[in-house]
Copies of this chain bind each other. A is one copy, B any other.
Amino acid sequence: MTPVNTATKGVFVIAVTPFKENGALDHDSIDRMVDFYYEKGADGLTILGMMGEAPKLTQAESIDIARRTISRSAGRPVVVGVSAPGLAAIGELTKAVMDLGAAGVMVAPPSSLRTDEQITGYYRNVVATVGADVPVVLQDFPLSTGVQISSRTLGAIIEENAGIVMVKHEDWPGLQKISDLREAEAKGRRRVSILCGNAGVFLPEEMQRGADGAMTGFAYPEMMRDVCRLCEAGDQDRAQDLFDAYLPLVRYEQQPGIGLAVRKYILARRGAITSAVQRRLGATLNALATAEVERLVTRLERRLKELG
């Protein structure tokens, strides 16, 4: 499998983890979901991320999911989230999934980090732990981790660690950070790939600022594919028209906690997975929320017809 690298572009969907109603892994749904994501426009997948319910999986299950997803992806790149409280677990899971053919690993900083030195020190140790030949995606998601990485510190980490090939960008607000990275590259810093998260809620602006694509789990990957393509083709207005049609739903799915329930509900509704169930401690949609989602989906479908 081709590893991700500093030139990687396109849409990497953050995959959910499908479970059966009894809580067991649903292997058939993994296959179906993987096919669905690629049919709807994914260029690659990212598994075992925050939205993949990774902390609810045993180590054996995590490796099982990685094996099955990588195999079903048939050569397309699969990034694996390996964030953990300690370097040992990061190293252990990285070795296992790279051996299975993963395209790289993604690491968010632990929430205890505060100073710039602590953050740069952490990524130095991550790269030393996984090895220089493993492509690392740095997940910059302060709203979730509590760790704020300034543009300057992010630049210092990139300059120090050739192993970091991609930033999963989901700072908020974060548009300027994309511009900062690209400006520094124009002045000579090595390039990194920037794929954007945050449920895609700023995707048109992010592409304009120089992002290479999206890495998020919105349940309509075709929106992300089309917005990225239209932006690449310079048709910013058409991109935004399409984006705006989806935005009410993007916004609804972006809600922390319950957002995953919405996402799984829509994926099940679209036939990508059999059940929307989450493992214990997951939020569920009650009747009111379900009605809200249904209404937004109906409106989306109508609006898409209007747009032709």
Question: Do A89 and B173 have beta carbons less than 8 Å apart?
Answer: no
Interface with B: A71-79, A149-157, A264-272, which one?
A149-157
Q: A59-B59, A92-B59, A111-B111 are in contact. Are A281 and B87 (CB under 8 A)?
A: yes
101-151 of chain A: CB within 8 A of chain B: 111, 114-118, 121, 125, 128-129, 147-150
In this complex, what residue of B is CB-closest to A306? B306
Whether B57 and A292, one on each chain, are in contact in the complex, defined by CB atoms closer than 8 angstroms, is no
Are the CB atoms of A88 and B61 closer together than 8 Å?
Answer: yes
Chain B residue contacts of A162, Cβ below 8 A: none
Residues of chain A touching chain B, judged by Cβ–Cβ distance below 8 Å, are 54-59, 61, 84-89, 91-92, 111, 114-118, 121, 125, 128-129, 147-150, 152-153, 172-173, 175-176, 179, 201-202, 205, 208-209, 237, 240, 243-244, 247-248, 251-252, 255-259, 279-281, 286, 288-289, 292, 295, 299, 303
- The listed residue (B59, B88, B116, B259) touching A150 by CB distance below 8 A is B116
Please name all residues of chain B whose beta carbon is closer than 8 Å to the beta carbon of A150 when the two chains form the complex: 115-118
Contact status B248-A115, CB under 8 Å: no
Assess A280 versus B87: contact at CB under 8 Å? Given A92-B58, A240-B299, A247-B248: yes
* Contact residues in B for A152 (Cβ distance below 8 Å): 117
11 A–B contacts from the bound complex (CB under 8 Å): A56-B86, A58-B89, A114-B147, A115-B149, A116-B150, A125-B280, A128-B280, A172-B256, A202-B251, A205-B252, A247-B248
